Amino acid sequence: MENRPLEYDYTVAKLFMYNTIFVGIVGMLVGVILAWQMAFPGVNTFLGVNLAEYTNFGRLRPLHTDSVIYGFVLSGVWSSWYYIGQRVLKVSMAESKFLMFVGKAHFWIYMAASIVIVISLLFGITSSKEYSEFEWPLDAGIVIIWVLWGISIFGLIGIRREKSLYISIWYFIATFLAVAMLHIFNNAEVPTWLIAPGVGSWYHSVSMYAGTNDALVQWWFGHNAVAFVLTTPIIAMIYYFLPKESGQAVYSYKLSLLAFWGLMFVYLWAGGHHLLFSTVPDWMQTMGSVFSVVLILPSWGSAINMLLTMKGEWQQVAASPLIKFMIMASTFYMFSTLEGPIQAIKSVNALAHFTDWIVGHVHDGALGWVGFMVIAAMFHMAPRIFKREIYSKSLMGTQFWIQTLGVILYFTSMWIAGITQGMMWRAHDEFGNLAYSFIDTVAVLHPYFTIRAVGGTLYLVGMFMFAYNMYKTMTSSRVVEESELQNATPMGA
């Protein structure tokens, strides 16, 4: 047994993979609708007056953010976990009936919760905390889903054959622990019927924190949701998939550890940058700003480590669309983690806050870094899971360029829109009267909103190409053995 290659069981990885593709398309379709709604408000009622309540911007926005972050990205992360975990720990899920059961329960309870979440958001039932919109029964369900994932992580680690823990596992553990803590603290809430029986609905709750404290906890959560859902698990993925796909060892393990502890220490203090010029104590705002600037170091530590992994092998970037996705992802990671600290400087934030420049920052990270890396992970895993080669590499290449163009149109238009907005809002004459009314700024933004909508639509077109390529790969592509595929480190797994 020890000498034979292990037969890994990808049942759960596959389930999450299907969901990644499906929710990726749905969540981004909603993003595209939002983008067109902002450019042409008439689109808000495009499904007819009666349905307008369910399709207007206010209802669809949280549906977009939650479905792409907790649907598309988390499913991609979990698909990758159920693949990478077995391989770097050198243990198969088939060896433990219990862990197999936990993995399947993890998926199906998550799916059930997702359906209830979609319905509740469409009906406007939310706790109104951004990225944490769910009411208390769903928050409780999320705890169960998270605990199941934790059992899977520590269960597999417990029965592993490989003694040392590859760096990706560190990042998965950090994701698990940090999100558990963030979720519990930010969702400390009391059901309304406990405070005032007979008033309000059974599912509604109010936060245990009030005013400024509530805002502080919310943005400590919000910023770290970026850190531990949109960053650490994605780093876990790239540390595995890039070396595997390129056949190159990670450039520096020391740098990977240094960057890991740097991220862990610095990220948790930076949330104050969301509350600059608010009622939060001044020293906390300054601390948020300072830690955000320091955050460039560990962020770039990981990104540079990825880029240098390709040292001497840059021809692979030209030759392989899959490596292109990963190298572009690291590049966008560097880009958004330079842009974020700049926006966290108080004088810059005074201009940028509330403007579309922030939305641009969100999406160069979300589409360029996170989206590309999730797509790359699926493309790497599919041939190994389904034992069929990628259906069309040229389609993958076309998808890469269309989506890259989409991201560029998205963030450049939002930069121009945001800075224009910020400048117009603060412009005044010599008596201190504002030079422009709000509607003046809206009129100026129209062309940029249209360009963003075109960029987003291109990205979505790429998602359809991705889904088609994956579907053909799973069903009708040439059968291959894993040994035929380029395959090397990490740790031979």
**Contact footprint for ligand HEM (CB under 6 A):** 28, 31-32, 34-35, 38, 61, 64-65, 68-69, 73, 130, 222, 226, 230-231, 270, 273-274, 292, 295-296, 299, 336-337, 340-341, 343-344, 349, 352-353, 358-359, 361-363, 365-367, 369-371, 456, 459-460
Min dist CB 289 to ligand HEM, Å, is 8
Between 83 and 332, CB nearer to ligand HEM: 332
CB of 299 closer than 8 Å to CB of 263:
yes
Between 147 and 359, CB nearer to ligand HEM: 359
Give whole-number Cα distances, 460 to 22, 170, 249, in Å.
12, 32, 33
Three-state SS at 264 = helix
Min dist CB 345 to ligand HEM, Å, is 8
Between 99 and 295, CB nearer to ligand HEM: 295
Between 99 and 458, CB nearer to ligand HEM: 458
Min dist CB 232 to ligand HEM, Å, is 11
Closest CA to 330 of 379, 266, 373, 376: 373
Say how many CA atoms lie within 13 Å of 217 toward its Cβ. 18
Min dist CB 148 to ligand HEM, Å, is 23
CB of 56 closer than 8 Å to CB of 357:
no
Please classify residue 121 by burial: count the beta carbons closer than 10 Å to its beta carbon, then call 0-12 exposed, 13-18 middle and 19+ buried.
buried
Min dist CB 178 to ligand HEM, Å, is 15
Min dist CB 97 to ligand HEM, Å, is 35
Q: Which helix (DSSP H) or strand (DSSP E) does residue 189 occupy?
A: strand 189-191
**β pairing state of 205-207 and 189-191:** antiparallel
Between 60 and 91, CB nearer to ligand HEM: 60
Structure token digits, residue 22: 């499906």
Min dist CB 110 to ligand HEM, Å, is 17
Residue with tokens 């299907």: 18
Between 87 and 353, CB nearer to ligand HEM: 353
CB neighbours of 354 closer than 8 A, spacing ≥ 6?
Answer: none
Between 88 and 409, CB nearer to ligand HEM: 409
